[in-house]
Structure 1
Amino acid sequence: MNNRITYLITLGLSLLCLYSAHAETQKPNVLFIFADDQMWNSLGCLEGSQVKTPNLDRLRHQGALFTHAYNMGSYTPAVCVASRTMLNTGAFVWNAAELSPKGNNHNDPNAPKNQAKYTIDKRKPTGYWSQWMKEAGYETYFSGKWHVSGTKAKNLFDHVKHERGGMPGGAKKNYSREFIPGEPDGWSYDKSQGGFWQGGKHWSEVLGDDSEAFLEQAGKSDKPFFMYLGFNAPHDPRQAPKEYLDMYDVNKMKVPVNFLPEYPYNEAAGAGRGLRDERTAPFPRTEHAIKVTRQEYYALITHMDTQIGRILDALEATGKADNTYIFFTADHGLAVGDHGFLGKQNMYDSSMRVPFLLAGPGIPADSTVDAPIYLQDAMATSLAIAQFPKPKQVEFQNLLPLAKGETKTSAYDAIYGAYFGAQRMYRNEKYKMIIYPTINVVRLYDMVNDPLETKDLAEGRNRPVELMNSLFSAYQKQQEEMKDPVDVSKAYETFMSK
């Protein structure tokens, strides 16, 4: 009898050890949800927000909100291509340009004619995000917008359902709307206009369907999963079902404090009247056009939020939610009227800054991180979660120490921004400097006291010369670290000598 008891105890201990070892080696799952063109302050949980996002708010309450997440900029008018190339290769913007077929603007027909020129040497990536996750033992899933030049998602993921391009076609009316007060055109919910209604079902809803099916499949697998879900929303054409448009009264839409009929340097900045994004409303901008545009933009975000709710519910149904890290962010922001812009090809916070949420094991609920980060840090963070050694090509940083409250210090002293050779940005905790090298113009904003960037401190004779020189010196060091191919020193010197 004693021998039998001893045997059972030994067996039980052995099984317990085996279970513990399995639990220790079972890697967390990674669910990455990616929006397109979503400005940083378009979450319902933020003070003053007019947007309704109950499911993103739910995710925010589960984990950490990063309040200062940025895109680094772009070497192509399709900012999403640069952002997604950085995300999937892990390379900073100019190194990502080397890895992208569209990296050299001499070959880009959309490059502004007055653009400061640069030359990019071409090389092949050593790998992509999903490939490294596979090597770490993950089963990989993809559906939605890809838009990474030079490769296809179907060649990188185990499971691919829909691989969308940059934006839906067929919505020609998107560029000829007049926005006449009192004359609603039903654009958002008119399915005959094409766009997001191509195929008979709204693309956001299709991605919701794909996500539920993927999660049901992943729930039956013993392997950890990496799921990359790319919404095309809220990118234009800004179309959503009528019930979502009806949630927003156009007459109650707020016009941005920094609204302008037209930005004074938009042509020199490569973001003028001919740019596709800027042609979705006529010039000069009117307050009514911005109100309608924001009404449709918010409706599309809320519609996407409903699909995200479906995804979160499907994850819960797998029984694996407690061992899953969930990321939500966007490839860049969008102006939607800020400073007279509609697009994202500028250095203002509405276009450079994005929402960023991270929830998962060990991350305190309802926590907030104010330290500056780049949205592409999500990739480096997932590699850390997967216990995969960071490849040399990956320059972005692991956010887990910030998310878990182990540190309050960012890996970045300041945020860098660039658009072609026409715009440069240096953004530290207090100030933002913007440089337009083709016209020798510098702008400076106090981001603490003037977060909406309404007062240019560099304008006029009383500019803070000592402060500006200090910021520009710090920017030059940053530019060297980034391997920036455009020298802006002459533009700065010319401006400061005026």
Structure 2
Amino acid sequence: MKPAIQYSFISRYLPLIFAPLAVGCQSATKKAPQQPNVLFILTDDMQATSIHALGNNDVHTPAIDSLISEGITFTNTYTNGALCGALSMPSRAMLMTGRGLYDIQADGMKIPKAHTTFPQQFRRHGYRTFATGKWHSDHASFNRSFEEGDNIYFGGMHPYELNGHRSPHLNHYDSTGVYGQETKFIGEEFSSKMYADAAIRFLQKQKDEKQPFLAYVAFTSPHDPRNQLPDYGQKYNSDTLGLPRNFLPQHPFDNGEMDVRDELLVPAPRTEKQVQKELADYYGMISEVDVQIGRIMQALHATGQAENTIIVFASDNGLAVGRHGLLGKQNLYNHSVKVPLSIIAPAYKSRKGEKNKSLCYLHDIAPTLCELANIPLPESMNAHSLYPIFEDSTITTHRKDLFLAYSSIQRAFVNEEYKYIIYHAGGKTTEQLFDLLQDPLEMHNLLPENMEEADKLKSQLAFRMEEEDDFCDLSQPDWWQDGHKLTFEEMQQLYVYE
């Protein structure tokens, strides 16, 4: 195994410290007369295509639709990937720190002190910071980021055996960061309502406050378990739901994750009725979290603070739910790596309802928020801010291409026209090439007929992998070591920062 990659913070970022600041940060030390508040709403495992306002007529999402109608929606937002099956862990760590997959520690299990989170930066610059819901990293980084919070969930998902979302195992805020038996309790309401209740209590206290606030609300819906929906929210009859056009009973080849937990919830091959049932439960969870988002937005408006609040709506990753013969998210198809992202910024109300197709990463949000609030970027943040798009509506190119990775078995390269995916699983290499403009559902592999384009993208992918310090090497027959899938223990030894 390749030795753990140790980074010195100073040597890695010294060139960035003296680099010219991005537009909008040059005057960042001078605060605006009235700094905007921030309300960040994050869902869990929500596809970009599972929202009514974004084209899904089967699902009922009036609160989310309202946010999309008021903000700028970035329709080509991707998460960078993951080294293990729990995609939300790296996704949320990247989101918090404004850093890519190979720039976070051990897939986000820990956010080291050297990596400043955007709430931490806001806190340093006079914001009151609050969080409720899911935190999929260490306690210390949570407390550095937020000075208060409630109904906090430390972990990946609410276990089936502990009654799932109906009995969420939560924590009250602990200023010491210990979070032991004295802070733990079992929620008496469905998880989404517990998180919304905590957020509403916090917002109600801000009615007459002059200090700006940042509130982070991280739902665990619509992540499974989905077998016990709450009484509220839209319910769906599986027989009336249409199947995704890219539905398959099973994936056409071994992608290296055929037996991961997510894929075993309903073993393949899956019938149309089985997938319709999964979709009905999934949409039910989306509708229930939509109800709670609506309650939070109503509370924000009641405070009189809405007109001066930046509102972000996003998800940490997507989910297959029958597409390409898959159920889970351990893949690099768009249904699993593309996420919804809409930002409402008070200074750009004239832009409401816009859709921007620029390629971007989810972790580009962190520097964007800093610039929108006129707060200097922390030195550890290396994502690309979307702020120029707010300033200029004609910009439709943010990043020219994206690099995606999953474990040691899948890599992908995306540009404005194509996606190239390469797999190394069970000793076999498989390649796919999709024309995203003509085939956004990725149903038609253009290989082997279009090998010239694939080879060009593969070369660009290999360059990006080297540039990002990827531990895999496409020029090697096994990519790394003997080609086995990276274990959780091995993952913890990679990309360790001082």
> Where on the TM-score scale, by shorter chain, does this alignment land: which range?
0.7 to 0.9
Distance in structure 2 (CA, Å) of the matches to 1:99 and 1:253 = 36
| Mapped contact 1:74–1:82 kept (Cα < 8 A) | yes
Distance in structure 2 (CA, Å) of the matches to 1:133 and 1:296 = 37
Match of 1:468 in 2: 454
1:159-205 CA distance string (max 9 Å, x none): 11022133454424xxxxxxxxxxxxxxxxxxxx8111003310101
Match of 2:296 in 1: 311
Match of 1:17 in 2: none
> Does the C-alpha gap of structure 1 residues 425 and 151 become closer, same or farther in structure 2, counting only changes over 3 Å?
farther
Following superposition, the deviation at residue 48 of structure 1 comes to 4.1
Q: Which has the larger radius of gyration?
A: 1
Which moved further from structure 2: 374-383 or 145-154? 145-154
1:308-355 CA distance string (max 9 Å, x none): 111111111111111111000000011111111111110000000011
Structure 2 counterpart of 1:428, which letter?
Answer: N
Give the secondary-structure state (helix, strand or coil) at the position aligned to 1:49.
Answer: coil
Match of 2:372 in 1: 385
> Does the C-alpha gap of structure 1 residues 99 and 449 become closer, same or farther in structure 2, counting only changes over 3 Å?
closer
| Mapped contact 2:345–2:372 kept (Cα < 8 A) | no
| Mapped contact 1:143–1:210 kept (Cα < 8 A) | yes
Distance in structure 2 (CA, Å) of the matches to 1:168 and 1:428 = 33
Give the secondary-structure state (helix, strand or coil) at the position aligned to 2:40.
Answer: strand
Following superposition, the deviation at residue 56 of structure 1 comes to 0.8
Question: Is residue 249 of structure 2 the alignment partner of residue 261 of structure 1?
Answer: yes
Instruction: Give 2:145's match in structure 1, choosing from 140, 156, 160.
Output: 156
Instruction: Give 2:208's match in structure 1, choosing from 213, 217, 220.
Output: 220
Instruction: Give 2:88's match in structure 1, choosing from 80, 87, 93.
Output: 80
Instruction: Give 1:344's match in structure 2, choosing from 325, 329, 349.
Output: 329
Give the secondary-structure state (helix, strand or coil) at the position aligned to 2:152.
Answer: strand
1:53-105 CA distance string (max 9 Å, x none): 10111111111111111100001211000101111122110111457457xxx
Following superposition, the deviation at residue 46 of structure 1 comes to 2.2
> Does the C-alpha gap of structure 1 residues 60 and 101 become closer, same or farther in structure 2, counting only changes over 3 Å?
closer
Question: Is residue 165 of structure 2 the alignment partner of residue 196 of structure 1?
Answer: yes
Distance in structure 1 (CA, Å) of the matches to 2:433 and 2:291 = 39
Match of 2:57 in 1: 49
| Mapped contact 1:167–1:235 kept (Cα < 8 A) | no
> Does the C-alpha gap of structure 1 residues 25 and 351 become closer, same or farther in structure 2, counting only changes over 3 Å?
same
Give the secondary-structure state (helix, strand or coil) at the position aligned to 2:53.
Answer: coil
Structure 1 counterpart of 2:282, which letter?
Answer: Y
Unaligned stretches of 5+ residues in structure 1: 1-21, 103-121, 173-192, 494-498
Structure 1 counterpart of 2:212, which letter?
Answer: P
> Does the C-alpha gap of structure 1 residues 141 and 321 become closer, same or farther in structure 2, counting only changes over 3 Å?
same
Distance in structure 1 (CA, Å) of the matches to 2:337 and 2:138 = 21
Unaligned stretches of 5+ residues in structure 2: 1-29, 168-186, 480-498
Match of 1:4 in 2: none
Distance in structure 2 (CA, Å) of the matches to 1:218 and 1:34 = 21
Question: Is residue 15 of structure 2 the alignment partner of residue 26 of structure 1?
Answer: no
Instruction: Give 2:44's match in structure 1, choosing from 25, 30, 36.
Output: 36
> Does the C-alpha gap of structure 1 residues 392 and 411 become closer, same or farther in structure 2, counting only changes over 3 Å?
farther
Match of 2:127 in 1: 138
Give the secondary-structure state (helix, strand or coil) at the position aligned to 2:346.
Answer: coil
Following superposition, the deviation at residue 396 of structure 1 comes to 1.4
Structure 2 counterpart of 1:480, which letter?
Answer: E
Q: Kindly, what percent of the aligned residue pairs are identical?
A: 35
Following superposition, the deviation at residue 426 of structure 1 comes to 0.5
Give the secondary-structure state (helix, strand or coil) at the position aligned to 1:277.
Answer: helix
Count of equivalent residues:
426
Question: Is residue 359 of structure 2 the alignment partner of residue 372 of structure 1?
Answer: yes
Distance in structure 1 (CA, Å) of the matches to 2:473 and 2:334 = 24
Match of 2:471 in 1: 485
Following superposition, the deviation at residue 437 of structure 1 comes to 2.7
Distance in structure 1 (CA, Å) of the matches to 2:156 and 2:120 = 25
Q: TM-score, normalised by structure 1?
A: 0.81
> Does the C-alpha gap of structure 1 residues 492 and 142 become closer, same or farther in structure 2, counting only changes over 3 Å?
same
Distance in structure 1 (CA, Å) of the matches to 2:143 and 2:112 = 22
Structure 1 counterpart of 2:166, which letter?
Answer: W
Distance in structure 2 (CA, Å) of the matches to 1:326 and 1:369 = 17
| Mapped contact 1:219–1:320 kept (Cα < 8 A) | yes
Give the secondary-structure state (helix, strand or coil) at the position aligned to 2:116.
Answer: coil
| Mapped contact 1:245–1:296 kept (Cα < 8 A) | no
| Mapped contact 1:32–1:228 kept (Cα < 8 A) | yes
Distance in structure 2 (CA, Å) of the matches to 1:201 and 1:332 = 25
RMSD: 2.3
